[in-house]
């Protein structure tokens, strides 16, 4: 199956989320939450991420995670990840209980496409203090894609992880997972990067972006947002409407996309220093805001 066919299939099976100009969404991807070991890329930014997530919860945002939220290539089981970042999952649970959580699976958490796996591992967790199972993400469903559809104009924003345009990481993810677990995870500890990752392979990154752009052109310039490559992208109106929210494992920062008042923006959260020498976590606007209606779509 070609990348074009895989993207089309993801679009045809995507969860549709109605929205209007009063809706507020935050898009993150590629958190790669791990077990807090030396190989856990998320651990360096977990305080930044948790602070940002708290902000979006208080402000009434809906949370969309576009794949690779959990690092299930390096780690055998979700339970180790949960224990390492329990506060994050308890906050995500609040979004879920208020129907404000929308999850997409990527190549590093592709096991989540199996509802039975999700039900077994994510529905509840054992709490030693209480000595019983506690509800976590009960009845949650992971999707291959999301479609945000404007209630009045019908304009759509299609969201997926983006590995549909990556032949190796979509079709042979099990081989990739095996290689990461037995080879690249130990080497990562000493600073050697995984060459199969598009985030570490610039030529492959360009090829993946080119395939997604080609699919957009063949589908009436449909607005599309992905992750996977870890490279943020924010086109101007009139350009091919291909957005990428970046990742949460950039050095010392996380990036994401906000959709507020019918306008889309690329943002960054990072640690900054106040004049008195104390540290603070701040939000920085990188691109936008631009009105969604200014992007051509069918």
pLDDT score at 34: 94
Burial of 12 (0-12, 13-18, 19+ CB in 10 A): exposed
pLDDT band at residue 178 under the 50/70/90 scheme: confident
Q: Look at residue 190 in the predicted model and tell me its pLDDT.
A: 52
Q: What is the percentage of the chain residues whose pLDDT exceeds 90? A: 72
Work out how many domains the chain is built from and give that number. 1
For residue range 108-167, list pLDDT tens digits in order.
999 999 999 999 999 988 777 777 788 999 999 999 999 999 999 999 999 999 999 986
Contact of 226 with 145, CB cutoff 8 Å? no
Structure tokens belonging to residue 181: 């677990």
CATH number (domain holding residue 68): 3.60.21.10
Radius of gyration over every alpha carbon of the chain, rounded to an integer in angstroms: 18
185 band by pLDDT with thresholds 50, 70 and 90: low
- What's the rounded Cα separation, in Å, for the pair 67 and 58? 23
Strand partners, 70: 33
Is the pLDDT at 272 greater than 60, yes or no? yes
Tell me if the pTM is above 0.85: yes
Region 239-267: mean pLDDT is 96
Its domain, for residue 257, covers 3-294
Average pLDDT over residues 59-71: 97
Per-residue burial over 141-155, b = 16 or more CB atoms within 10 Å of its CB, e = otherwise: ebbbbbbbbbeeeeb
């Amino acid at each position: 199956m070609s990348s074009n066919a895989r993207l089309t299939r993801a679009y045809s099976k995507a969860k549709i989320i109605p929205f209007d100009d009063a809706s507020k969404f935050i898009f993150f991807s590629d958190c790669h939450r791990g077990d807090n070991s030396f190989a856990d890329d998320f651990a360096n930014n977990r305080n930044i991420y948790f602070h940002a997530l708290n902000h979006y919860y208080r402000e009434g945002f809906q949370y969309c995670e576009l794949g690779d939220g959990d690092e299930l290539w390096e780690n055998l089981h979700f339970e180790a990840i949960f224990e390492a970042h329990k506060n994050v999952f308890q906050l995500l649970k609040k979004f879920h209980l208020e129907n404000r959580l929308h999850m997409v699976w990527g190549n590093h958490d592709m096991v989540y496409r199996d509802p039975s796996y999700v039900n077994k591992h994510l529905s509840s967790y054992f709490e030693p203090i209480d000595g019983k199972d506690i509800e976590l993400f009960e009845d949650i469903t992971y999707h291959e894609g999301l479609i945000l559809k404007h209630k009045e104009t019908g304009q759509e924003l299609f969201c997926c992880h983006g590995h549909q345009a990556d032949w190796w990481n979509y079709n042979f993810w099990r081989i990739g997972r095996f290689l990461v677990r037995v080879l690249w995870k130990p080497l990562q500890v000493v600073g050697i990067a995984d060459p199969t990752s598009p985030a570490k392979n610039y030529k492959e990154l360009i090829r993946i972006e080119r395939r997604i752009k080609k699919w957009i052109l063949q589908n009436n310039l449909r607005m599309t947002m992905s992750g996977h490559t870890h490279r943020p992208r924010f086109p101007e109106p009139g350009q091919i409407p291909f957005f990428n929210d970046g990742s949460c494992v950039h050095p010392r920062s996380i990036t994401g996309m906000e959709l507020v008042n019918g306008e889309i923006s690329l943002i960054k959260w990072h640690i900054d220093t106040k004049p008195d020498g104390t540290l603070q976590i701040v939000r920085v606007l990188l691109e936008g805001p631009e009105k969604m209606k200014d992007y051509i779509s069918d």
